[in-house]
Structure 1
Amino acid sequence: MKLAIALYSAAHAPSSRRALRFAEAALAGGHEIVRLFFYQDGVHSASNNSVTPQDELDLAHQWAAFVSSNQLDGVVCIAAALRRGVLNEEEAARYQRRAINLHAPWELSGLGQLHDAIQTADRLICFGGP
């Protein structure tokens, strides 16, 4: 089965951990993840500026490692990211900001990428959010 996964909550939220464990289990079960889409507060999961307390799981790091090691399409909503100060090099230069906190494996893009993933996938699975 082809899955698109959307994450609406920040890395420290329980739903982010559930989403990651679901994605790991889906791949282990032979399913395909056509795209991971991080939206609303989910964009914080892609930020390199998150510092996790020593006694907690570093889910932002685990997400990046998961996306990289499985060569997945990890898309971060550009509008939500800009609103929350999650910037790659190009957007930081465009808006004259010094902070660059979004690096590979993440890609900034619009909601069209979510729509495309929904059209390609058999199922859209959403975690967190409204």
Structure 2
Amino acid sequence: MSLNYVLVVSAPVYGRQASLSAYRFAQAVIEQGHTLTRVFFYQDGVSNASSLTVPANDEFDLVAAWQALSSEHGVELETCVAAALRRGQISDDEAKQHALPTSNMAKGFTQAGLGGLSESLLTADRVVQF
């Protein structure tokens, strides 16, 4: 039986293991034949969407990995807009709205409110938070 999963990632892109564990869990969900519809990045997890993250040459590029997962499997990558703005994670739309000179959101990520997450929670068979 195939299940529909949604992940909530609250940990920063680097400095803790949780975001990498979430990514590996996402891969496993897909490999097992389940559906992963959305990854919602909340609190410090919004840093996973930064286009300004530059890992060392010998480190895993987690931002690029999330982008590849999204493009290959149609997984939506959403950041909480309020959490993102507080942490300086800015989309093109938010940069325009707040008259900021630029954005720093990596391609493939979007910003959404908690309403989008709430909707996902109602339709998912399983929600896993990291």
When the two structures are superposed, what TM-score results if normalisation uses the length of structure 1?
A: 0.92
User: Any conservation in 1 of the 2:5–2:124 contact (CA below 8 Å)?
Assistant: yes
The Cα shift of 1:18 comes to: 0.6
What is residue 40 of structure 1 aligned with on the other side? Answer: 43
How do 1:41-120 and structure 2 match up within 5 A? Answer: 41-120=44-123
Aligned partner (choices 2, 9, 12) of residue 10 of structure 1 = 12
User: Any conservation in 1 of the 2:37–2:74 contact (CA below 8 Å)?
Assistant: no
The Cα shift of 1:14 comes to: 0.8
60-69 vs 24-33, greater mean Cα deviation: 60-69
When the two structures are superposed, what TM-score results if normalisation uses the length of structure 2?
A: 0.92
User: Any conservation in 2 of the 1:34–1:120 contact (CA below 8 Å)?
Assistant: no
Rounded Cα–Cα distance in structure 2 between residues aligned with 1:42 and 1:69:
22
Say which SS state the counterpart of residue 93 (structure 1) adopts. helix
Rounded Cα–Cα distance in structure 2 between residues aligned with 1:103 and 1:60:
8
Rounded Cα–Cα distance in structure 2 between residues aligned with 1:121 and 1:105:
21
The Cα shift of 1:55 comes to: 2.5
Rounded Cα–Cα distance in structure 2 between residues aligned with 1:11 and 1:68:
19
Rounded Cα–Cα distance in structure 2 between residues aligned with 1:91 and 1:6:
22
CA RMSD, Structure 1 to Structure 2 (Å)? 1.1
Determine if the alignment matches structure 1 residue 124 to structure 2 residue 127.
yes
User: What is the identity percentage for the equivalent residue pairs of Structure 1 and Structure 2?
Assistant: 36
Rounded Cα–Cα distance in structure 2 between residues aligned with 1:118 and 1:76:
15
Q: Tell me which amino acid in the other structure corresponds to 1:10.
A: P
Say which SS state the counterpart of residue 119 (structure 1) adopts. helix
Moved over 6 A (4+): none
Superposed CA offset, 1:79-128 (max 9, x none)? 0111111111111111111131114311111001111111000111000x
- RCO (CA 8 Å, sep 6+): is it higher in 1 or 2? 1
Structure 1 23/76 Cα, relative in aligned 2: closer, same or farther at 3 Å? same
Q: Give 5+ residue unaligned stretches, structure 2.
A: none
